[in-house]
Amino acid sequence: MTEETHPQGPGETKPGRPSYGRVLRQPAFLRVWLAQLVSQSGDFIFEVALIWFVLETTRSVLDVGIVVTGTILPAVVIGPFLGVYLDRWDRKRVLVGTNLLEGGVVAVLAFLVLEGVASLWVIFGIVLVLGAGARLVGVATEAYVPSFLAVEDLTPANSLLSLSGSFNQIVALSVGGVVVALFGVTIPMEYDTLTFFAAALLLLSVHGPTRPATPAPGTSRSSFFTEFREGFAFVRDNRFMLEIIVIGMLVNFFGNAMSALFAPYAAFVLHGGATVYGLLGASVAAGSLGGAVAIGNADTRKSAGRFLLAGGMGVGLIVLAVGLVSNIPLALALMVGLGITITVTNLPMQTLLQAKVPDRLRGRVMSAFFALVMATGPMGPLAAGWMASRWSVAGALVISGAAITVVIALGALTMRSLRDVEY
């Protein structure tokens, strides 16, 4: 298996326990984290406003699905190509420039909505651009943060980045609908524009190493496709990554199926309305927040794979249980548990990849890896609709949960490289 040890961060001489305090005292990380916190505060409210606008103007659930698919496709289709440039360019400038671009695109959308000329396909095109920008910012952040933190501090750093997302999601799902009802959809879009610009200003103040990839002395840069293939080659040569991809493709298929069933589950199984739907999502985010706090204090250097498998098993069992429940309080409690287990699954994996992948390859490898993991994601909602129409919403959830549980159990039994991987 191809491996490179990750260098110690500034001022570190030997590994220690993970520390939130040490991470937050790192000025470069603090500014990156605050930039994400600010930017995401607009992203989730924008998402509520956009989905509501599409549903209100088209009255079509299919059209909503088309727009949601547009947010997923860029990561799968162009994500790996973006990774090559992330390993060539200054990552701080990528983050600043992408935030400015996304802010401008959202401003254009707000103008088109005000003018009444925002057609479905115009929105779909804009969503594709925003999806590509979000993927670029996500991978750039994951590649940039390890350049100024020690390995043992990657887990609390990723936990804090997850916390900001969960916090913003809770707030957006709780108040986003109210804001849209009171002020319409353009004000949330204008607010999102401002948060992108504010995030860009915060990132400009970061004074940390960018560590852009450069050719070794005396050599020239390889061609685009040579560098592109390097990312996939690294994935191919690391068995634990291949095992995560196999699990991830199957779990993401059924996981995206479940997310597409949230609204029908609220309406047809729990017999609630939009408020119950919002509370389901907010409960998942609340669980994710709690899971991020807990995992941030854990030392996963020798157990990242086991955390991933245990968390994945929990996800499957909870999804299965959700399909058997028609009581709102119990369903909300299960959603909190779902958020916890999703975080326990994802954060150690994210830290593992950051630690294992050399800096010069990080953009390419992580883009290629996540594109493969998410490859089946866009098909999940279609399968969910088919299963729900053939059987029932509850039946589709039970099938999804059982499938995830079986996949994780087989992985735990057969995937030794993933079980035993260390960093």
| Each residue's pLDDT tens digit, 180-238 | 777 888 888 999 999 999 999 999 998 866 555 455 444 455 688 888 888 899 999 99
- Please check whether residue 183 is in contact with residue 52, taking contact to mean a CB–CB distance below 8 angstroms: no
Q: Which residue stretches of 116-207 are H helix? A: 120-144, 154-183, 186-204
Q: How many CB atoms lie within 10 A of CB 181?
A: 9
* pTM of the predicted model over 0.75: no
For CATH 1.20.1250.20, list the domain ranges present in the chain: 24-210, 224-423
pLDDT at 246: 93
Topology of domain 224-423 in CATH is Growth Hormone; Chain: A; (1.20.1250)
Which CATH number fits the domain 24-210, given the four candidates 3.40.720.10, 3.90.1490.10, 3.10.20.810, 1.20.1250.20?
1.20.1250.20
352-388 tens-digit pLDDT: 998 899 888 888 898 889 888 888 877 777 777 777 7
Please tell me whether residue 106 adopts helix, strand or coil conformation: helix
Question: So what's the pLDDT on residue 61?
Answer: 61
pLDDT on residue 216: 47
Q: State how far the Cα of 411 lies from the Cα of 415, in Å rounded to an integer.
A: 5
Low-confidence stretches of the chain (pLDDT < 70) are 1-16, 61-62, 65, 176-177, 208-222, 260, 273-274
pLDDT at 77: 80
Q: How far, in whole angstroms, is CA 341 from its chain's centroid?
A: 15
Contact 39, 138 (CB under 8 A): no
How far is Cα 15 from Cα 300, in angstroms, rounded to an integer? 13
pLDDT score at 208: 64
Give the pLDDT score at 6: 42
pLDDT score, position 129? 93
The backbone region for 211, taken as left when phi is positive above 0, alpha when psi lies in -120 to 50, beta otherwise, is left
Q: Which pLDDT value is given to residue 7? A: 42
